[in-house]
Structure 1
Amino acid sequence: MKSVFLSAALLLASAVAHAAEPIRIGMIEGMSGAFANAGQAVVRNLRFAIDRINAGGGVALPGGARPLELVIWDNKQGVEESLVGLRHFADQRIPFIVQGNSSAVAAALIDAVDKHNQRSPQSRMLFLNYSAVDPALTNEKCSYWHFRFDAHADMRMHALTEVIRGDSGASKVYLIGQDYSFGQQLARSARAQLAAKRPDIAIVGDELHPIGKIKDFSPYIAKIKASGADTVITGNWGNDLTLLVKAAREQGLNLKFYTFYGNGLGAPASIGDAGVGRVRAVAEWHPNTGAGRRDGASDDFYLDFRRRYPKPEEDYVHLRMQLMIAMLADAVRKAGGTEAAAVARALEGARYRNAFHEATMRAEDHQLIQPLYVSVMQKAGDAGLRFDNEGSGYGFKTERYLAPAQTALPGTCRMRR
């Protein structure tokens, strides 16, 4: 009888251990080199999101709840190293891959995941994209195994140009960006949307520079100055944005910047007073969206993050990454496990809603549809500005809100299922 009880106890212990086996999420991102700060910001956001799921008991599955676990691969911001990382995760049978800080890397990962899933249907993978915004990734290059949780470049540009449409002070625009698929598409999108919404605007410069290689943007700022531009549009991110706006400040270039990512990673502090009322950013959320709300849910979310990461340089919150992890956990629960095809079916058409945000994963192209905010830089303490960014003394205040239906642009995806 004693041996029966012992066997039962061992079986129970084994079952509990198996139930507690973590669901691993493989992150492929640049953790060293010029964009290490952007990679580190992603890690903080993902760990914050994962810890929130785990604190709630993990992901409830038929065999018992399982926690989430983040596994990191430093791709050194390169395509080949990213593919090495993907093979490493495939060998470990990690079912979910996340990446975002390069559309070139994302395109290569989509192709590689497609091929892997064809070769190895018994260990298929899903690719969840939180920041790679080349529109092609959910249009002509769309894949059943890829889901994008950020607004793509045309959607973000649509939001910015809706503000520019009513900006009577914008007459001469200079386009500057990083020379890869995203930067090239952004320039095309800006030209097309400005032509449709503000045909009176002259584009006086269209510049692409090597990504992550420019240490001194002074020559580029000199060109912008010489062009007579009153407005700059840029999709630069990471140090390429920080160094660009720093050079603009040092040369006294007091014109308007319409940016994709001007609200963090050192940019507000770099541009200082020159950016007040002049620098704009577009995002699915920002810390001061809670201004005027009675429930305080947005503020509470942001304050939770700041308590977890109190250093000023750690203050760069991406709501879309919280949303991505929450939607993944819910899809795994609905699928009853981590099998990629079942989780993909659960994600298609999935809805997310909390007290201050809502989103839907569009089934036909796996593009998330959510609100967008265009915000303008202000000094801390100004009306409607409770929080600054990164302890800089400058924050962002909502200038224009676009509801989900206003951000959804038509797509060209022909999904193979």
Structure 2
Amino acid sequence: MRPWRWLAAGLVCLAAATAGAQEPIRLGMIDGLSGPFANAGEMVARNLRLAIEQVNARGGVKTAEGMRPLDLVTFDSKGNVDESLIQFRALVDKRIPFVLQGNSSAVAGALVAAVNRHNAREPGARVLFLNYSAVDPGLTNENCSFWHFRFDASADMRMQALAEAIRTDKSVRRVYLINQDYSFGHQVSQSAAAMLAAKRPDVKVVGEEFHPIGKVKDFAPYIAKIKASGADAVITGNWGNDLTLMVKAAREGGLGARFYTFYGNSLGAPAAMGDAGVGQVLAVAEWHPNVGGAASDAFYRAFRARYPEPRDDYLLLRMQVMIEMLARAIEQAGSTDAVKVAHALEGMRYVNAFHDATMRAADHQLQQPLYVSVMARQGGEVRFDNEGSGYGFRTVRKLTAAQAMLPTTCRMERY
């Protein structure tokens, strides 16, 4: 066959393959991929890509048009509200049906309002907002929305788990509250004070501090104030570099207080604390690599095989749960229609060999177990360390989904 005929035959095959291929279902992630919290945004993208790859490896998502792959499209919010809203407009202009965001409750609150307005104006192009990390309780209470689903535990749920650990830690007598100065940080501080009063009325709050988010380069002055207060424990919801820099300053400043954190097991914090954090830094999450069991270990090893560099470590189960539940909801709905997918998600249960979670229909808040864990040297039950640091976490308290559940004041408009 002449060369041009080979080319013609190839083009025919390519055209046939293209015609038979189904258009991917696009998921639009809006998060900070540059700026002070770029590491947190990049971590999210890795987790989402792994979950999407696993769905696509089994053929994608079954719809009325056939099997369709998932495709992640990222939008850099630079970590601020205004840019997030600009990126949201770009997302809906591209007719992407699903919005994924989580790093910053301030951004999430603005996006919920933007999604509500967009869906009211354009009922033929509605979108759903899937929230993987923005934990302000108001998002599933007074500001709840039919178009918003949260797959992380709320700040109140996380604080309840930490307060349960403090309840039995009789070494804690004087607590210092330090948090980022925005809606989430204020909620953490408020929730901590209320739950300590209920569960440990003998504990005294000796300081409350709010610092600018993403702008503090040296936390030494804050650590000096904590030391001067005589606090034996610190409660913080800080995340990203604000947490890493703070725990580094605590180590360098010789602060011996225990740190009860939301995210102390993530993004450089264990390495920054080093030996000073062993037995002193606690974190709360829906899962961690050392919960135990063959299925959990295999889940973590699959992530490490996909991302072998220690700097890329940090696996979040909730993001895998979110993608799996979305894929199943699209299949049940038979399409990407926002109303149909939302109804499919309501009440949906996710169960694997080591996790059991249910999406509560009343407020679209995922109900799942929570683990409080403490930093330890790798070895024994701490089979896996964090980011190659030599330090990992072991469970000190587990709350079942029923124990972690809190009531809701949500009164959403339904569709």
Matching residue of 1:166: 168
1:407 to 395, 404, 407: 404
> What is aligned with 1:263?
265
What is the CA–CA distance in structure 2 between the aligned matches of 1:156 and 1:134, rounded to whole Å?
11
Q: Which residue of 1 aligns with 2:135?
A: 133
| 2:385 is equivalent to residue 388 of structure 1 | yes
2:363 is matched with 365
Partner of 1:6: none
Partner-residue secondary structure (3-state), 1:72: strand
> SS of the residue aligned with 2:59?
coil
Mapped to 2, the partners of 1:102 and 1:26 lie a distance apart of 16
Q: Find the partner of 1:79 among 73, 78, 81.
A: 81
The amino acid across from 2:20 in the alignment is V
Supply the AA of the counterpart residue of 1:250.
Answer: E
Measure the CA separation in 2 of the matches of 1:160 and 1:196.
Answer: 13
Equivalent residue, structure 2, for 1:354:
352
Q: The residue matched to 1:141 in structure 2 has which SS?
A: coil
| Residue identity in the other structure for 1:107 | G
**Cα deviation digits, residues 227-278 of structure 1 (max 9, x gap):** 0000000000000000000000001112100000000100000001011111
Shift of 1:60: 1.1
Q: Deviations over 1:110-139 (max 9, x none)?
A: 000000000000000000000000000000
Measure, in 2, the Cα distance between the counterparts of 1:320 and 1:309.
18
Q: 2:245 is matched with which residue?
A: 243
Paired residue for 1:116? 118
Q: Which residue of 1 aligns with 2:315?
A: 317
Unaligned runs of 5+ in 1: 1-8
Cα distance in 2, alignment partners of residues 229 and 177 from structure 1:
15
User: Could you report, residue by residue, the CA deviation over 1:129-164 in whole angstroms, capped at 9, with x for unpaired residues?
Assistant: 000000000000000000000000000000000000
Closer, same or farther: CA 387–10 of 1 in aligned 2, 3 Å = closer
What are the residue-to-residue correspondences of 1:2-17 with 2, within 5 Å? 16-17=20-21
| Matched ranges for 1:27-106 at <5 A | 27-106=29-108
Taking the aligned partners of 2:104 and 2:329, their CA distance within structure 1 comes to 26
Q: Secondary structure at the match of 1:287?
A: coil
Q: Report the alpha carbon displacement of residue 61 of structure 1 after superposing the two structures with TM.
A: 1.4
User: Could you tell me how far apart the structure 1 residues matched to 2:205 and 2:256 are?
Assistant: 18
Amino acid at match of 1:167: D
Q: CA deviation at 1:411?
A: 0.6
2:47 match: secondary structure: helix
Alpha-carbon distance in 2 for matches of 1:284, 1:257: 19
Equivalent residues in 2 for 1:336-351, closer than 5 Å:
336-351=334-349
> What is the CA–CA distance in structure 2 between the aligned matches of 1:283 and 1:10, rounded to whole Å?
47
Q: Aligned partners of 1:86, 1:389: CA distance in 2, in Å?
A: 33
Distance in 1 (alpha carbons) for counterparts of 2:327 and 2:61 = 6
What is the one-letter code of the residue matched to 1:297?
Answer: A
SS of structure 1 residue aligned to 2:67: coil
Name the CA distance, whole Å, in 1 between partners of 2:37 and 2:351.
Answer: 32
Write the distance in 1 (CA, Å) between the matches of 2:325 and 2:221: 44
- Asked if 1:157 is matched to 2:159, the reply is yes
Counterpart Cα distance in 1 of 2:65 and 2:255: 61
2: CA distance, partners of 1:255 / 1:311: 32
Which residue number in structure 1 is paired with residue 4 of structure 2?
none
Q: TM-score, normalised by structure 1?
A: 0.95
SS of corresponding position for 1:289: coil
Equivalent residue letter for 2:177:
L
In the alignment of these two chains, the number of paired residues is: 402
Alignment partners' CA distance in 2, 1:406 and 1:313: 34
1:288 counterpart SS class: coil
After superposition, what is the alpha-carbon deviation per residue over 1:344-367, rounded to whole angstroms, capped at 9, x for unaligned?
000000000011101000000000
**1:397 and 2:399 aligned:** no
CA distance in 2, matches of 1:368, 1:392: 31
Distance between the aligned counterparts of 2:80 and 2:275, measured in 1?
A: 36
Partner Cα distance (2:393, 2:74) in 1: 31
Take 1:186 and 1:376, find their aligned partners in 2: how far apart are those partners?
20
**Helix, strand or coil at the partner of 2:270:** helix
Q: Within the alignment, does 1:300 sit opposite 2:302 as a pair?
A: no
* Identical positions, percent: 68
Name stretches of at least 5 consecutive residues in structure 2 with no aligned partner: 1-12
Tell me which amino acid in the other structure corresponds to 1:45. Answer: N
What secondary structure sits across from 2:358 in the alignment? strand
* Aligned-partner SS, 2:340: helix
Describe the SS at the equivalent of 1:199.
coil
Partner in structure 2 of residue 227 of structure 1: 229
Name the aligned partner's letter for residue 174 of structure 2.
K
1:117 partner letter = N
Extract structure 1 runs of 4+ deviating beyond 4 A.
9-15
Report the CA distance between 1:62 and its aligned residue: 2.2
The aligned amino acid for 2:405 is: A
Determine the C-alpha separation between the residues in 2 that align with 1:57 and 1:406: 37
* SS of residue matched to 2:205: strand
TM (normalized to structure 2)? 0.95
Task: Give CA deviations for 1:256-311 in whole Å, capped at 9, x if unaligned.
Answer: 00000000100000001011111000000000012xx3xx0000000000010011
Change (3 A) 1:308 1:14: closer
> Residue 143 of structure 2 aligns to a residue in which SS?
coil
